[in-house]
Amino acid sequence: MTRNPFATVGQMVYGDDHVGRRSEIRTLTERVLAQSTAGATAIIGPPRVGKSSLAYHLFMRPEARAEHPGLLPVWMNVRLVGNIRRLFTRLVEEVWELLQTELDEIDPRLTQAYERAGADEPEWILAQGETQEFLKLVRRRGFRVVLILDEFDAAREVFRSQPGAFQGLREIAYNPEWNIGLVTTSRRELREIVDMADPAESTFPGIFRSVYLRCFDEADLTDLAARLNDKGTEALVPCLQEMSGGHPYLASHLLDRVWTELQGSSFLPQVEEIRALREPVPPEFHDYYRDLKDLLSADGRLKALLEIVLGPQLTVTPDDAESLLQQGLIRRCEDGYRAFSDHFERYLTLLSRELRPWDSWNAVENGVRALIERTFQAKYGNDWPGTYRRARPHAAEILDRCEQMRAREQRTFGARASTQLLDFSYPKDLYELMASHWDLFSPILKKDKAYWRERFAVLTKVRNPMAHSRVNAVGPTDLRLFEAYCAELMDIVGTRYSAGAGRAK
């Protein structure tokens, strides 16, 4: 082979280069092209999994119109379309251009409808009506208009200030008089996109069927590897599966590297050489993971993903797991769920050490401090530190140290410094203060001293490296325990003290 079949990885793939997706192609063909009335369809999946490639391969490649006579496909990137009025204008213009190649002569009525639809009509509702009339005449002449709206996630921004935008799209797809095949590609569910833009347009997603694109299965991944060489590609598949999870974009980058190593040779590398191709990981992997992390963070799904894959599962619900499974970001296994690839799961393990614990601990730490202060105020009064020292002299050293640190901060930062004494306490201090008056705290904490001593020992062990940006020094087991214990404490102190006065409010 003299041509690298993966040299253009990252571009849309169609025609002979398109691999797999047999079930999805069958569904889209049946729904959009095979019925007398086309059905609106949403292609949904994680970034670069092949959504645009699938839509282009099925509707836009030159052979598509020969395979489906009467097909008039129009492609638009929603991010670039500007507004709903411009979208309708472009739709009319592009359908008109396609008609020029299909008809030797266009009758006057259709020409007049096109001219009216393309006129600079100031009223959106009138322009919408003219567009519908034009599409109705096109449909009566036996043509099937298919509008592919790529990157439909952008609709949450593009259509946000345009009331009726989604309803206008719904109408041209739903009404059988001028019905067009409406196809969207997006990373998010349509309902999420519409809710972000205009919740009043909630009927729009109801006309769609969702087609979810996930990573390749073993058969499709084998077909992808076969583009490299028609002999012995099965040796590549386990490595591709481990590293990419069958994600076509990531797997193609690995195969591009294999081709570069082979330099067009007809011989595949041995298993040991294939393993060596894993390091260093192509930089596109890290770029992709960062993009995916940003997307999940913006959607509020990153925490759910981390809990499902790594645990502990504190707030995640079965619906969260089902959604991530449907979108191909996790996979089922015997003991629960795994990330879509082993390599991505290792990335999530590293990420979990950086993202989750500190905010949880800040809330818990403030809550426990407020619990101690309120309890001691109820016992000793507002000037509780002095009275407490006399009652519990063996624990006075903790308060002395806190006072010294408070005074030092006040000298350095003046009015910006904290005046709360317990703001300068550590997890071990908090436990010792509660243990010194267990008669007061036992009814609140419910468990014995040994139970809470063990938990505060873990909190102390993890809190210090976190505070000094050395969370990578904390092992995954301790980190998971830390989060579980934070959640346990938050259940106690969060509801009891969040509604009262003070810092924990």
- 407-416: pLDDT as tens digits: 877 775 567 5
CB-neighbour burial class of residue 468 (10 A; exposed 0-12, middle 13-18, buried 19+): exposed
Q: Residue 228: its pLDDT value, please?
A: 78
* Domain-wise residue ranges, the chain: 22-212, 218-283, 300-354, 357-497
Q: How confident is the model at residue 477 (pLDDT cuts 50, 70, 90)?
A: confident
Cα–Cα distance measured from residue 203 to residue 152, given in angstroms and rounded to the nearest whole number: 17
Residues 6+ apart with CB under 8 A from 51: 43, 44, 45, 185, 186, 213
Cα–Cα distance measured from residue 130 to residue 114, given in angstroms and rounded to the nearest whole number: 8
- 340-356: pLDDT as tens digits: 998 888 888 767 655 55
Rounded to a whole number of angstroms, the distance between the first and last alpha carbons of the chain is 68
Least confident among 24-33, 305-314, 357-366: 357-366
Distance of CA 367 to the CA centre of its chain: 31
State both tokens at 252.
């193609």
- 394-411: pLDDT as tens digits: 888 999 999 998 887 777
Cα–Cα distance measured from residue 428 to residue 441, given in angstroms and rounded to the nearest whole number: 16
Cβ neighbours around 75 below 10 Å, total: 16
Residues 6+ apart with CB under 8 A from 487: 312, 314, 360
Cα–Cα distance measured from residue 108 to residue 27, given in angstroms and rounded to the nearest whole number: 37
Better-scored residue on pLDDT, 231 or 253? 253
Q: How confident is the model at residue 476 (pLDDT cuts 50, 70, 90)?
A: confident
Cα–Cα distance measured from residue 498 to residue 191, given in angstroms and rounded to the nearest whole number: 34
Please give the CATH number for the structural domain made up of 22-212: 3.40.50.300
Check pLDDT > 90 for residue 209. Answer: yes
Tokens 């010194």 appear where? 436
- CA-CA distances (angstroms) from residue 135 to 177, 179, 181? 8, 8, 12
Stated pTM of the model = 0.71
Identity of residue 122: P
Q: Residue 496: its pLDDT value, please?
A: 44
- 147-189: pLDDT as tens digits: 999 999 999 999 988 888 999 999 999 999 999 999 999 999 9
Q: Residue 95: its pLDDT value, please?
A: 96
Q: How confident is the model at residue 359 (pLDDT cuts 50, 70, 90)?
A: low
- Which percentage of the chain shows pLDDT scores above 70? 87
Cα–Cα distance measured from residue 91 to residue 127, given in angstroms and rounded to the nearest whole number: 12
In 38-123, alpha helices (H): 51-55, 62-67, 78-81, 84-102, 108-117
Among residues 167, 160, 171, the alpha carbon closest in space to that of 195 is found at 160
- CA-CA distances (angstroms) from residue 97 to 58, 236, 355, 372, 404? 20, 46, 52, 75, 80
